Chain A
Amino acid sequence: MTNRATATIHGWLLLLPAMACLALFTHWPAIASFVDSFMSTPRARRPARFVGLDNYQQMMADPIFWKAMANNLWFAMGTIPTSIALALLMAVWVNDRIAGRTLVRMAYFTPTILPMIAVANIWLFFFTPQYGLLEQIVGAFGGRSTNWLGSQDTALYAVTVVAIWKEAGFFMIFYLAALQAIPPSLGEAAAIEGASRWTFFRRVQFPLLMPTTLFVLINAVINAFRMIDHIFVMTRGGPDNATTLLLFYIYQVGFGFWDTTYAAALTCVLLLLLALVAFVQYGWLERRTHYQ
């Protein structure tokens, strides 16, 4: 046997356990979702059969699906820019010699390690009508009472705020690491040139942080489709589907109504969106990002 063949056998033997698990729980279910989305859901005495695009036609006519897509879009547009901007601000602050910076950094980072399902309980109390904390604060300033989670106009904002709170501190540490990696000589040179602090940030620091921004952006986009734990505690998708996000709807269809093939079709939409993110990342943003 040649050396090359031996190496190939060794290599694949080492990969085998991990590849087998990935094939079973990532590759196969992705393909199976696609196949199942063209089938009917098997019911008692009626086995699954090929129904073509029926599930997708149902989807196009399903107002809750469109509602979930719109909600997810707003949720993404609410969480992504805000949490990234806050993360950058936090990192710049914590990078300076401000008072109590260790404690401040700790406060920003703490939400990252707390279980979302647990802190959602506390946020639920904050938003509770009548005696919730937010209500008391608003009341103290003479504002009028709002049922934040019970109203269609505010519920999505409320769950968006919680998501921003959860992830901003996590993103901060990547900016912090990147800021600390910028050579001090750049700051010295800019200062000699007489650049203001804002100019230095905009022209030097921010461009150098682009790879970090890209990394954080991808994470934020994926999180916008993944973060639904708090929905279970705070709204369960309500009121009247005002906070139903795509993944939460997949959960409802797949495990509430047990319509598994329609859920598979919805899963395909989610996978398509994630693939789009990957495509944009590798095909477009990667080329436009300035690396040091």
Chain B
Amino acid sequence: MSGAPQPQSVASSRPDPYAPKGLALTLESTGAILLALIWILPLAYAVWAAIHPAEYTTRFELTAPLTLDNFTRAWAAAPFARYFLNTFILVTMILAFQLVLGTLAAYALARQDFWGRDIAFALILAQLMIMPDALIVENYRTLAKFNLIDTIPAIALPYIASAFGIFLLRQTFKTVPKELDDAARVEGASPLQVLMKVYVPLAKPTYVAYGLVSVSYHWNNFLWPLLVTNSVESRPLTVGLQVFSSSDQGIDWAVICAATLMTSAPLLVGFLLFQRQFVQSFMRAGIK
């Protein structure tokens, strides 16, 4: 359980005796590609429906005319600009708090030896099992007491202390050589200065990995935002999309597909551009 294990492709330099060759490789490639086609089909279909006129939604002809009309209609039919802004504020707010709270807590757990540390760690880890989604009823009551229902902070609050983030940072901080810490203290740095000057810079890959996972998660999160928001001013994209596609749009699949793609676009484009970074981040965040 090291902090930042680097998956290395050690196998590439030496020939693998079990690497399939010839017919076996062809069969394997065919199977893998077929499965990949099935896996990408929903997205491919959404792209098809979104960039063609509605009459081609279920007619697949190569000569079908292209159009951006569905996107314009979707954009005009619901306040997507506002939803984008709300989601942007939401994920930024959550990530900022998660990083600050997580860094402080992880530093205490990794490098301070104090009374009650192990109990505190166990209490924090409880959140890995009892995820906020399971506690919607009571959390709603708490936020109603604070008079925060239908605000963006209400969506963010249950998530800003993340056991997952604290755990990940703790594991990373534990790999920082103690000598660096001691050297900084000899120079007269305070504990917080040591944290900011020694630990945080060394944990940068973990911060990036955690950041990507957190932003993806909260960009896509739906249930809790649905419960605590009921106006355009606070709704994030996912809830906006749901309101949009279940309301008067009827079943205009072309427009719904366009709206679906718009909602996913920022993450999707980010993923296509930084594919390696994304996959490695999710991997790094998972292997603890």
Q: A and B: real partners? A: yes
Mark A residues whose CB is within 8 Å of B.
4, 7-8, 10-12, 14-15, 17-22, 24-30, 32-33, 36, 86, 89-90, 93-94, 96-119, 121-123, 125-126, 128, 131, 133, 136, 165, 169-170, 173-174, 176-177, 180-184, 187-188, 190-191, 197, 200, 215, 222, 225-226, 228-229, 232-233, 247, 250-251, 254-255, 260, 263-264, 267, 270-271, 274-275, 277-278
With A93-B28, A117-B222 in contact, do A174 and B286 touch (Cβ < 8 Å)?
Answer: yes
Q: Which residues of B contact A277 (CB under 8 A)?
A: 129
Cα–Cα, bound, A226→B135 (Å): 11
Known: A10-B112, A222-B131. A254 touches B242 (CB 8 A): no
* With contact pairs A10-B191, A15-B108 given, residues A113 and B268 touching in the complex (Cβ less than 8 Å): yes
B144–chain A nearest beta-carbon distance, Å = 11
Q: A274 contacts which chain B residues (CB < 8 A)?
A: 129-130, 134
B23 within 8 Å of A (CB atoms): no
Tell whether, in the assembled complex, residue B19 and residue A122 are in contact, meaning their CB atoms are under 8 Å apart.
no
B287 and A33 contact, CB distance less than 8 A? no
A118 touches B241 (CB 8 A): yes
Q: Is the CB of B136 within 8 A of A114?
A: no
**Given A7-B114, A115-B219, A260-B137, A271–B130 Cβ distance below 8 Å?**
yes
Contact: B287 with A200, CB < 8 Å? no
A-B contact count (CB 8 A): 303
How far, in angstroms, from A90 to B35 measured CA to CA in the complex? 9
Please report the C-alpha to C-alpha distance between residue A104 and residue B102 in the assembled complex, in whole angstroms.
35
Listed from nearest, the 10 A-B pairs whose CB atoms lie closest are A29-B138, A21-B161, A11-B114, A191-B17, A14-B108, A107-B36, A115-B220, A18-B105, A177-B7, A93-B32
- Report whether A177 and B136 are in contact in the complex, using a CB–CB cutoff of 8 Å: no
Q: List 11 A-B contacts (CB under 8 A).
A: A7-B113, A8-B114, A8-B115, A93-B28, A121-B260, A125-B256, A165-B39, A174-B283, A184-B14, A184-B16, A250-B136
In-complex Cβ contact of A22 among B36, B113, B161, B264 (8 A): B161
B108 contact set on A, CB distance < 8 A: 10-12, 14-15
Q: From residue A131, how far is it (CB to closest CB) to chain B in Å?
A: 5
State in angstroms the CA–CA spacing of A32 and B134 once bound together.
Answer: 13
CA distance A277 to B107 in the complex (A): 29
- Verify if B51 is at the interface (C-beta below 8 Å from A): no
Complex Cα gap A86–B163 (Å): 29
Question: Shortest Cβ distance from A238 into chain B, in angstroms?
Answer: 14
Q: B196 within 8 Å of A by Cβ? A: no
Interface status of B263 (Cβ within 8 A of chain A): yes
CB atoms of A25 and B132 under 8 A apart:
yes
Q: Are B36 and A108 in contact (CB under 8 A)?
A: yes
Q: How far is the CB of B148 from chain A (nearest CB, A)?
A: 12
* Bound complex: CA A30 to CA B135 (Å): 7
Partner of B139, one of A15, A25, A191: A25
Which B residues are in CB contact (< 8 Å) with A226?
A: 131, 133-134
- Kindly state whether residue B278 has any CB partner on chain A within 8 Å: yes
> Contacts A11-B112, A131-B58, A247-B134; is A22 near B163 (CB within 8 Å)?
yes
What residues on A are CB-neighbors of B253 within 8 Å?
125
In the assembly, what is the distance between CA of A118 and CA of B278, in Å? Answer: 20
Contact status A170-B282, CB under 8 Å:
yes
Docked CA distance A8–B114 (Å): 5
A180 touches B287 (CB 8 A): no
Q: Which partner residue on chain B sits nearest A291 by CB separation?
A: B1
Cα A25 to Cα B16 with chains together (Å): 50
Asked whether, in the complex, the Cβ of A267 is within 8 Å of the Cβ of B39, the reply is no
Given contacts A19-B120, A173-B286, A229-B223, contact A26 B130 (CB under 8 A): yes
In the assembled complex, which residues on chain A have CB atoms less than 8 Å from the CB atom of B5? 181
Q: Is the CB of B137 within 8 A of A98?
A: no
Instruction: Contact check, A260 vs B161: say whether CB atoms are below 8 A apart.
Output: no
Cross-chain contact A123 with B42 (CB below 8 angstroms): yes
Residues on B with C-beta less than 8 A from A254 are 136-137, 140
Bound form: Cα–Cα A225–B129 in Å? 11
Asked if B222 and A116 sit within 8 Å, CB to CB, the answer is yes
Complex Cα distance A87/B19, Å? 19
A93 CB contacts on chain B under 8 angstroms: 28, 31-32, 35
Q: Could you tell me the distance in whole angstroms from the C-beta of B206 to the nearest C-beta in chain A? A: 15
CB-nearest residue of chain A relative to B101? A18
Residue of B132, B134, B158, B237 contacting most chain A CB atoms (<10 Å): B134
Instruction: Determine the chain A residues whose CB is within 8 A of the CB of B115 once the complex forms.
Output: 4, 8, 11
Q: Which residue of B is nearest A128, CB measured?
A: B251
CB-CB under 8 A from A4, the residues of chain B are: 114-115
Return the chain A residue nearest B13 by Cβ: A184
B130 pairs with A30, CB closer than 8 A: yes
Residue of B nearest to A98 (CB): B29
B85 at the interface (CB under 8 A from A): no
Contacting pair A122 B220 (CB below 8 A):
no
Q: Restricting to B253-271, which residues have a CB under 8 Å from any CB of A?
A: 253, 256-257, 260, 263-264, 267-268, 271
Q: How far is the CA of A205 from the CA of B151 in the complex (A)?
A: 50
Q: Are B116 and A12 touching (Cβ within 8 A)?
A: yes
- Inter-chain contact A14/B105, CB cutoff 8 Å: yes
Question: Known: A7-B113, A122-B42. Is A215-B286 also a contact (CB below 8 A)?
Answer: yes
Q: Is the CB of A113 within 8 A of B278?
A: yes
